[in-house]
């Protein structure tokens, strides 16, 4: 009886230990949660905040369809009162204001349970661009429990700049000094009309004091002008913004220049806009790099900053030469990369001359091996020519037990690349070969292979397999 009682106690203790371990692991992956936190609530708060973070990039606050986008993406996450407020005035919402960078996700740092139903969450919005993470913005989010559902009832982003001194330059556009200092001004009809008529002067009706609440350094009038410029692919319109040194203006030049391959427009993207976000992006350098790669013109790279002094990324000039060399498959371009261009730090991309040459050689090797003309030859003779061309047999069957009939005979004869054979008709067989770049060719033969009767299968066709064909065979 004592043994039985002891076993039961051990079983109870083991169960308690497993629950504690499971809870501890959950809290380990929710480092902001306290020891006394209800893990179900932790998961619920974590889920609603991170889901909200994943949806932000789908909501363009300066789009004429912003209200509909807010409903579609945030409808199940926000308290109805907050949802209605944001739909009425999208500029008070959280979302994206430029094509790049955009809000990619939310990372929670701390969370406090203020009451049995209210959580106060401190987190960071992680912004990314085509070149990677471009920065983060602190955000405070209030999550409230309604019955069995958790909804966001408040969002506050820490302003990046002091808003007391908004720019008052108007670049020829009339400023309305008595305009409201918030986003209550109805700018949506104006933006839609300006884009529809492709007329940036219409944007001048929006007061300069109207800004995006979540990003108060983004002036709505300037964003309107930039959208018109992008709609008509005209970099000259970007010069009509209120601040030539702003990120909005620099991105306008970038977006319009890369569409038109206008190198001269890249130079108009101010260096003062470098380092927006977390100091790793330069609209001007990215503009030069994008066009250089598109045109495969290494001379354009000479316009980029020499050693990444403007932002903490791999040197823009070395990166530019590297990418153009790979795009052009020209190893000589790599020789333009000099040691003074290279910056090394944790996580940096290797854009050295040696890395560039290796990348180009890989691209050259993957241009594709020649397809030999072997139609009409017996498979034995065709196989020799195929291997001479650099192709290697690709075995898809582990042993001959997976095969039957003529396929088994080929396999046993040493032709391990036989994939399958038809048992009727013209006795078609399929053989596979590969190169070092994941390209696969299929060789189709017809006729039976009976050496004793001097009968040999002959090649009817040889082709490169499509991705769809490879997927169908599980390759």
Write the pLDDT tens digit of every residue in 118-153.
Answer: 888 888 899 887 667 777 888 889 898 888 889 998
pLDDT of 216 = 65
Write the pLDDT tens digit of every residue in 429-442.
Answer: 999 999 877 889 99
pLDDT band at 105 (very low <50, low <70, confident <90, very high): very high
Assess contact for 263 and 303: CB atoms under 8 A: yes
Q: What's the pTM? A: 0.51
CATH architecture of 31-157: Roll (3.10)
Residues 274, 252: Cα–Cα separation, whole Å? 14
Q: Give the H/E segment covering residue 113.
A: strand 102-113
Write the pLDDT tens digit of every residue in 371-392.
Answer: 999 999 999 999 999 998 889 9
Domain range summary for the chain, segments of one domain joined by +: 1-30, 31-157, 279-367, 379-472
Residues 68, 88: Cα–Cα separation, whole Å? 10
Secondary structure of residue 88 in the 3-state scheme: helix
Write the pLDDT tens digit of every residue in 323-349.
Answer: 999 989 899 999 999 887 776 554 457
Q: Which of 63, 99, 124 is nearest to 283 (CA)?
A: 99
pLDDT of 18 = 46
Write the pLDDT tens digit of every residue in 214-225.
Answer: 666 678 888 889
**Partner residues linked to 259 by β-bridges:** none
Q: What is the mean pLDDT of the chain?
A: 79
pLDDT of 171 = 33
Whole-number Cα distances in Å, 312 to 56, 198, 279, 281, 315: 26, 37, 6, 8, 8
Q: Which of 374, 393, 394 is nearest to 461 (CA)?
A: 374
Residues 236, 253: Cα–Cα separation, whole Å? 8
Residues 212, 120: Cα–Cα separation, whole Å? 23
Q: Give the H/E segment covering residue 129.
A: strand 118-129
Assess contact for 108 and 46: CB atoms under 8 A: yes
């Amino acid at each position: 009886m004592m043994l039985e009682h002891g076993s039961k106690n051990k079983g109870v203790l083991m169960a308690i230990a497993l629950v504690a371990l499971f809870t501890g692991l959950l809290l380990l992956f929710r480092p902001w949660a306290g020891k006394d936190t209800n893990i179900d609530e932790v998961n619920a708060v974590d889920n609603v905040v991170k889901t909200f973070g994943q949806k932000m990039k789908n909501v363009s606050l300066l789009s004429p369809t912003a209200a509909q986008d807010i409903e579609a993406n945030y409808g199940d996450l926000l308290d109805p009162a907050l949802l209605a407020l944001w739909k009425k005035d999208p500029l008070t919402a959280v979302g994206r204001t430029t094509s790049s960078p955009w809000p990619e996700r939310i990372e929670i740092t701390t969370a406090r349970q203020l009451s049995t139903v209210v959580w106060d969450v401190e987190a960071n919005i992680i912004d990314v661009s085509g070149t990677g993470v471009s920065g983060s913005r602190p955000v405070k989010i209030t999550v409230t429990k309604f019955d069995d559902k958790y909804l966001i009832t408040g969002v506050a982003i820490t302003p990046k700049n002091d808003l007391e001194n908004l720019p008052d330059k108007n670049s020829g556009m009339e400023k309305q000094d008595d305009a409201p200092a918030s986003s209550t001004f109805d700018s949506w009809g104006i933006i839609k009309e300006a884009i529809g008529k492709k007329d940036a002067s219409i944007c001048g009706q929006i007061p300069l004091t109207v800004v995006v609440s979540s990003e108060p350094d983004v002036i709505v009038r300037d964003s309107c002008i930039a959208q018109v410029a992008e709609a008509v692919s005209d970099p000259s319109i970007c010069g009509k913004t209120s601040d030539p040194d702003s990120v909005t203006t620099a991105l306008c030049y970038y977006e319009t220049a890369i569409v038109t391959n206008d190198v001269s427009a890249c130079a108009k993207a101010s260096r003062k806009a470098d380092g927006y976000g977390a100091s790793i992006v330069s609209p001007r350098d990215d503009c030069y790099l994008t066009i250089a790669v598109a045109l495969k013109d290494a001379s354009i790279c000479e316009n980029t900053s020499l050693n990444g002094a403007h932002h903490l990324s791999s040197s823009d000039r070395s990166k530019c030469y590297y990418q153009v060399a790979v795009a052009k498959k020209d190893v000589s371009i790599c020789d333009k990369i000099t040691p003074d261009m290279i910056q090394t730090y944790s996580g940096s991309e290797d854009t050295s001359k040696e890395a560039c040459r290796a990348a180009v050689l890989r691209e050259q090797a993957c241009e594709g091996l020649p397809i030999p003309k072997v139609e009409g030859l017996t498979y034995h003779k065709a196989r020799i020519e195929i291997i001479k061309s650099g192709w290697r047999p690709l075995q898809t069957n582990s042993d001959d037990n997976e095969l039957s009939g003529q396929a088994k005979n080929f396999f046993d004869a040493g032709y391990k690349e036989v994939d399958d054979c038809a048992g009727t008709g013209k006795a078609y067989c399929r053989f596979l070969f590969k190169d070092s770049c994941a390209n696969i060719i299929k060789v189709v033969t017809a006729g039976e292979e009976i050496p004793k009767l001097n009968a040999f299968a002959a090649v009817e066709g040889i082709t490169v397999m499509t991705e769809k064909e490879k997927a169908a065979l599980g390759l």
